[in-house]
Amino acid sequence: MTTIKLLAMSALVVAACGDNAKPGGGGDDGGGNNFPNAPTLGAQIDRMGRPAINTALNAVLEPDAAKKTAQKNAYNQAANPATWATTEVATGRTILKEFSKHIAIFDMADKGQQQVPDPDGCGNGALYMTPTSATSYDMLSGVLADDQLYVDTDKGTCNFYLSLEVEAAAAVTHTQCGGRTLTHDVVDTSYSLLVAGLNGFDLLNQFAPRITDGATPHADVYNNAFPFLGAPH
């Protein structure tokens, strides 16, 4: 299985072919076109791997707007994947622990929801670790803190977002390519995973999410001509 980690970072790499058009050096490309020097990159200000994770699991209940913004920024500015989980978003509060706190809140949201099969409520979240302890949500937090999209290029079926992660958690036969396409409803999938774990998906219906935000998909989300996206809404 060939697995590629796709990491979306806010970095701009400028490259060109030919000895006269090297990054940082400017010069003529051989065709009479002069290119400016490559820009000097500043500090990282944003990153995006899995959509909505920073929004849903970081500083959600922080009442102080300045502190909330500071925590969001601390997450986005963490540039080293090896230390993402241990990066502090507030004094003494790592990304891992911040995520675990909010996953615990999401986990109880399906209590009494008829669309979710038993068991519902606390303890049915994905990768929940028993017996119940302060670290019961740390395994899922660690997976989500690794803010990368995984793609298996050996697979040609890409039906739903987080497919590799859900298949691994469900211990089912691996058939999906992973990653994310423009037609995937990432919010419904994220809600379902956080709120009800594997119970949040209809395993017999291509893992259709059972927890939804009620928003209908845009009919013009993509097209075959550049820039491939529909008009902004």
In the chain, pLDDT over 70 holds for what percent of residues? 85
pLDDT surpassing 80 at residue 46: yes
* Cα dihedral sign, 110-145-187-201: negative
For the chain, domain boundaries? 47-209
Would you say residue 60 has pLDDT above 90? Answer: yes
* Highest mean pLDDT of the ranges 25-34, 78-87, 150-159, 181-190: 78-87
Amino acid found at 216: T
| Rounded-to-integer distance, Cα 77 and Cα 23, Å | 25
pLDDT tens digits for range 166-206: 887 777 888 999 998 888 889 999 999 999 988 899 988 87
pLDDT bin (cut points 50, 70, 90) of residue 4 is: very low
Q: How far apart are the first and last CA of the chain?
A: 39
Average confidence (pLDDT) over 72-94: 96
Per-residue confidence band for 88, with pLDDT thresholds at 50, 70 and 90: very high
Cα dihedral value 133, 134, 139, 142, nearest 10 = 180
pLDDT at residue 13 greater than cutoff 50: no
